[in-house]
Structure 1
Amino acid sequence: MPTRWIPRRGPVLTAVALAALPAIAFVAPGQAVASAPPPAATATAPVRFVDLPSSPLPTDRTPHRITLTYRNPSSTDRTVAPQILVESPDKGPFLVTSDVRLELLGADGRWRTVPLGSQTGTLFTTLTSAKIVLHGHHTLTEHYRLTVLAPAHGTIEPRVALYS
């Protein structure tokens, strides 16, 4: 008669619990610490946005850097999500996602294309995939590169979504 191995519940549950713990990062004060938001924060909507300085959409076809910087003024951790909006002129013509290419500089030093959504002439990065926990009194800095691929006019409006 063949035998079957049945794992014990205690060690399996311990392994699952340990795998779910976030990694601890040792970072000097003033540097951003990016970690996944708690599960409860994932389902909630932002409570407000912090608008950062906007700039006109460049008209040439060369890459332009955009630096998004936000400092958590609180002593408590806060879930935030950086977002780049590219606004069309009020009277059109409206931008489409093929008009621009947006890239994000990764921790490994490589540029990665960021997918853009579109709604009524506004191109935007998604918030759900950008959520991070920013520790109290730490600063989030992200570097983007925007290239206008087709003749277009508009405004670049970086902002940060704040969650409760």
Structure 2
Amino acid sequence: MPRRRIPRTGPVLTAVALAALPAIAFVAPAQAVASAPPPAATASAAPVGFVNLPSSPLPTDRTPHRITVTYRNPSSVDRTVAPQILVESPDKGPFLVTSDIRLELLGSDGRWRTVPLGSQTGTLFTGLTTAKIVLHGHHTLTEHYRLTVLAPAHGTVEPRIALYS
């Protein structure tokens, strides 16, 4: 059965929408109205744009490879951003699954921590919700990742920054 590729923003927006469903589904209508955030806070739930960073081929040698994600806030005002790593499968497959790679993030304590990956239509991706940070005006965000291919696979590594209003 042929598979249809979705745009890159699809997995992210779908994940954000699905993450909100359980909270909405289990709140009584009267409570939902009483505790609803102001409209400005609701608007910032989904990214308003992305800054694509240079992509590279997925390494195939099964050794850890470092990926550095760097973004400078060009504005003088604070901005909420979230780094994200996408790993795209080849257009004609075979499609990647989460067990094909291991992605780790270097913590502020110097330890590597495994980053959970989502998967949709051959695209593996890191979540945005837990990666959100407020980046002060004219400051730079730098995150260090380590990617290891665990099974024979081909694809493209595409880091990017999600921008929020």
Separation of aligned partners in 1, 2:87 and 2:10: 52
Structure 1 pair 13–95 and aligned structure 2 pair: CA distance change class (3 A): closer
Separation of aligned partners in 2, 1:138 and 1:88: 33
- The answer for the alignment partner of 2:156 in structure 1 is 155
CA deviation vs aligned residue, 1:62-113 (integer Å, no higher than 9, x gap):
0000000000000000000000000000000000000000000000000000
| RMSD value, Cα | 16.0
> Please, what TM-score do these two structures have when normalized by structure 1?
0.75
Percent identity over paired residues: 91
Structure 1 pair 9–137 and aligned structure 2 pair: CA distance change class (3 A): closer
Cα displacement (A) at 1:38? 12
Cα displacement (A) at 1:118? 0.1
Cα displacement (A) at 1:125? 0.1
**Alignment size in residue pairs:** 164
- The answer for the alignment partner of 1:42 in structure 2 is 42
> Please, what TM-score do these two structures have when normalized by structure 2?
0.75
Contact persistence 2:12–2:127 (CA under 8 A): no
CA deviation vs aligned residue, 1:31-53 (integer Å, no higher than 9, x gap):
99999999965773101000000
Structure 1 pair 92–37 and aligned structure 2 pair: CA distance change class (3 A): farther
Cα displacement (A) at 1:22? 27
Structure 1 pair 153–43 and aligned structure 2 pair: CA distance change class (3 A): same
Cα displacement (A) at 1:56? 0.2
Cα displacement (A) at 1:121? 0.2
Structure 1 pair 48–33 and aligned structure 2 pair: CA distance change class (3 A): farther
Contact persistence 1:88–1:122 (CA under 8 A): yes
SS at match of 1:18: helix
